[in-house]
Structure 1
Amino acid sequence: MTLAPQSELLDHKFDMCFGHADQNKDGVVDAADILTFAARVIAAVNEPFDSPKATEMLRVCQNWWEGMASELDTDKDGKIDPLEYRVGMRRLVGSKSSFDAASRPVATAIWKLCDRDDDGEVSAREFSAVQLAFGTTPENARIGFEKLDLDGDGSLSVDELTVAFHDFYTSTDADTNGNWLFGAEFQTA
């Protein structure tokens, strides 16, 4: 059975995100991977690990892991394999309220880390620092920022980042701006 192109697009994005989460590249995602991911983002912006922003990011990622493990780890072995991730993400994104409840705290914590000067806005330069932690090229980070800045005011709001998370994980439209959340990486095979 062949998947419809839209299903293939979502699966490709889910697989890419699984790769981001699997920090030690052992083929599964576990709590250590998620906390390593959080530490990588914190380090990318040179945030002190004992700062309120860093501790919030670690707390949010721990909570995110616990929620994801509860929903996606079907065999309850403490690890999420690629199939569990795909199937579970399809189920999770099918419920907007569940997805938004899971993703908004992560988007908010990342947004706060991005806001290096605490002015309540995330500039292109600030956004780029976090994007580098995802392996996004500087050029793709710049384009991504422009695509995600929905109101064109030169900064990203937490709402714009939350919309990007939602669109990236749920949209079957290959041209949606949210697909630029991690640069153009999802478009590569």
Structure 2
Amino acid sequence: MKQVLQHRIDSTFAHYDVNGNGFIELADVYALAERLLRAFGEPAASERGRELVEAYDRFWEMLAAHCDTDRDGQVSPEEYREAMDTMFVTGGPIEADFLEVVQELLDIADTNSDGRVDAREFAVLLKARGLGDEECGVAFAHLDTDGDGALSVAEYVAAVRDYYTNPAEDTPGSWLYPDALQRT
């Protein structure tokens, strides 16, 4: 059980460590933002592009504040593991910051500004994480737990919490990252 959760934490760390140097740094977070800008077809200079970059700035600030315990500008795998345990298992102080970042990300994903993130819009985020079209549809169906055709912040946060705390397969959280589909 603990091995599955450890694998998930390590998988998300690897996702965030874009340059593969063994640390999450500001440059990695900007690379993730750039990946999403490309996926949305949004220039960084546009209003939505600036909002996305600003959201990722806040994401980095959150990571640095809660994960970078030695304040060296890098989040090591060990620091990340400890913070994820604190955040999701024990519900530490990072949770409020995380909710704000999730809200901003979902607002940006709402490309038609209807106040909802539908399957097509959420697929952009999942494709940037490496999922294919079919996987995006299946993942969205698992994440949309109330079946209303849109993801809410509450559904997304519940899925993230589930990802880090529930080792069971085929739960909403197990569909957040491509590596989860490997079913360790």
Taking structure 2 as the reference length, the TM-score comes to 0.88
**What is the identity, as a one-letter code, of the residue corresponding to 1:110?**
L
Q: Which residue of 2 aligns with 1:65?
A: 60
* Two-structure CA RMSD over aligned residues (Å): 2.0
Is the CA contact (8 Å cut-off) linking 1:103 and 1:165 kept in structure 2?
no
Is the CA contact (8 Å cut-off) linking 2:86 and 2:92 kept in structure 1?
no
Q: Deviations over 1:108-149 (max 9, x none)?
A: 222122211111122211111221100112221111100011
| 172-181 or 130-139: bigger deviation | 172-181
Q: Deviations over 1:16-56 (max 9, x none)?
A: 11111111111111111112112211221112323333322
| 67-76 or 92-101: bigger deviation | 92-101
**What is the identity, as a one-letter code, of the residue corresponding to 1:44?**
A
Pick the aligned partner of 1:139 from 134, 156, 159.
Answer: 134
Gaps of 5+ in 2: none
Is the CA contact (8 Å cut-off) linking 2:67 and 2:80 kept in structure 1?
yes
Mapping for residues 75-90 of structure 1, pairs under 5 Å: 75-90=70-85
- Paired residues in the alignment total 183
Is the CA contact (8 Å cut-off) linking 1:165 and 1:181 kept in structure 2?
yes
CA distance 1:98–1:51, change in 2 (3 Å): farther
Is the CA contact (8 Å cut-off) linking 2:44 and 2:53 kept in structure 1?
no
Q: Which residue of 2 aligns with 1:186?
A: 180
Cα displacement (A) at 1:106: 2.4
Q: Which residue of 2 aligns with 1:125?
A: 120
Q: Which residue of 2 aligns with 1:159?
A: 154
Mapping for residues 40-51 of structure 1, pairs under 5 Å: 40-51=35-46
**What is the identity, as a one-letter code, of the residue corresponding to 2:180?**
F
CA distance 1:96–1:53, change in 2 (3 Å): farther
Q: Which residue of 2 aligns with 1:106?
A: 101
Cα displacement (A) at 1:187: 4.3
Between the aligned partners of 2:78 and 2:59, the Cα distance in structure 1 is 19
| 103-112 or 128-137: bigger deviation | 103-112
Percentage of matched positions with identical amino acids: 34
**What is the identity, as a one-letter code, of the residue corresponding to 2:68?**
D
SS state of the match for residue 96, structure 1? coil
Q: Would you say 1:12 and 2:16 are equivalent positions?
A: no
Between the aligned partners of 1:77 and 1:20, the Cα distance in structure 2 is 20
Between the aligned partners of 2:171 and 2:93, the Cα distance in structure 1 is 21
SS state of the match for residue 150, structure 1? coil
Between the aligned partners of 1:12 and 1:108, the Cα distance in structure 2 is 26
